[in-house]
Structure 1
Amino acid sequence: MKPPSTDAYSLILEAIDSGVFKPGDRLVESDLAERFGVSRTPIREALQRLETQSMLTRDGRSLIVASLDYNQLSELYTVRAELEGLAARLAAMHATPEEMRVLRDMVEDDRALIGRPQDMARANRRFHKQVHLTSHNRFLVQQLDLVHRSMALLATTSLAAEGRGEDALTEHDAIVGAIEARDGEAAARALRDHISKAFVTRLKLDSGEIKTTV
């Protein structure tokens, strides 16, 4: 059984990841303890851990959900593209037939979620996590977990942009196709291209050039 501090940490992190708590929101120890039904001690420990990981920042005496500036966003996507490209390359080398089947099923099943950005965002995280696991490299998976934790600090999903959901699934299909073909270079290239297009979409959303569908 997980210790209470881990439970509290996971609960708060999931709330940030799902958009319940957004960048700039103030997190109050007593409110969180009541919300999640745990004592204040594990909440305090979880908040300290999240602050250490730069998920939370100080605003005077208060802790607020951190946000990413333009340079941090660019740096994050650069690292993400390289690490995920490596994961895709390794997945093409090491994927079992069962793992390929899971990835293929994810692409097909997620078509039913088009037009539902938040559901697609959750499905997208599952897909990318499965690619990470299929790399069969525990150290790479750990680093990608850190990268995707920081992705939770983005207030909106790029999948909310009109047409992005369909495009993302087409890109996922190309990634899986390359993994199925055992073509590591093609898999890495397809995944880096996928991340690059997501980054362009996010920049356009942030600049107001394109609007969300929700």
Structure 2
Amino acid sequence: MNVYERMKQALITGKYKPGDRLTEEALTEEWKVSRTPIRSALKQLEFDGLITPLKRGYIVRSFSQNDIRQIYDVRSLLEGYAASLSAIHRTEQDLSDMHKANEDFKTIIMSRGTNKTEHIQDVLKKNHKFHDTVIRASKDPHTEDLIRKVVVLPLVFHSFYWFEQRGLEQSFELHEVIIRAIEDQDSARARSAMHEHIYQGRDRVLEQLKRSDL
């Protein structure tokens, strides 16, 4: 795993928290590498929307309730659209990939690892894989590029982190609904199911954010 990936994981899992300041000097010392890969990683993380530049260094991005609603609204629109296109353009291979990805997702959520953070990181990867199969089946690279820009992984990570086991199982079940709709070439149902799935994660993040403010 390169420096960028390691730093991204640190942001996703909350090692670097919203409002934390990051500098090349401190990161060079922490990660025991030269400034060149640190500088490159910081630029990529800025592009990802995870950090914001300061006059000197960067600050880890924070999200207000309004930010979260807007991010998830845009994500829901884009992924819902992608799911509706997938119902039209999907191939048998696409369907096979979706079924396989969701079975892998089910396996990981039922494993209930002893380290919660590591377990949720694995859940996040499998969930991301499932969504990738749906998006690729849309055969629309422009929408795919836009989706990549609005999926803020720390928010997705925490939506899963705060799910109880039943919530994770509901995600698997909604994946199944999405697959069936795509399989049946029911664009409207595929779009609707994807909307519900995205908003399920949004509501969990907002609920926990409100609790933390109490």
Asked if these proteins are the same fold (TM beyond 0.5), I'd say: yes
| Counterparts of 1:32 and 1:48, CA distance in 2 | 14
Matched residue, 2:160: 158
Spell out the pairing of 1:1-214 with structure 2 (5 A cutoff): 9-33=4-28, 38-51=33-46, 54-58=49-53, 61-114=56-109, 115=112, 116-148=119-151, 150-152=152-154, 156-162=158-164, 163-208=166-211
Following TM superposition, by how much is the alpha carbon of 1:179 offset from its aligned partner in structure 2, in angstroms? Answer: 0.9
- Secondary structure of the 1:157 match is helix
Structure with a larger share of its residues in helix: 2
Which residue identity lines up with residue 39 of structure 1 in the other structure? S
Cα distance change, pair 108–207 in 1 and its aligned pair in 2 (3 A) = same
Moved more, 73-82 or 154-163: 154-163
- Secondary structure of the 2:58 match is strand
Which residue identity lines up with residue 138 of structure 1 in the other structure? P
Following TM superposition, by how much is the alpha carbon of 1:22 offset from its aligned partner in structure 2, in angstroms? Answer: 3.5
Which residue identity lines up with residue 101 of structure 1 in the other structure? S
- What is the percent sequence identity of the aligned residues? 33
Contact 1:175 1:190 in 2 (8 A): yes
Moved more, 139-148 or 42-51: 42-51
| Counterparts of 1:198 and 1:60, CA distance in 2 | 34
Aligned residues: 202
Q: Root-mean-square deviation (CA), in Å?
A: 2.6
Which residue identity lines up with residue 168 of structure 2 in the other structure? G
| Counterparts of 1:8 and 1:119, CA distance in 2 | 19
With normalisation by structure 1, the TM-score equals 0.81
With normalisation by structure 2, the TM-score equals 0.81
Contact 2:18 2:61 in 1 (8 A): yes
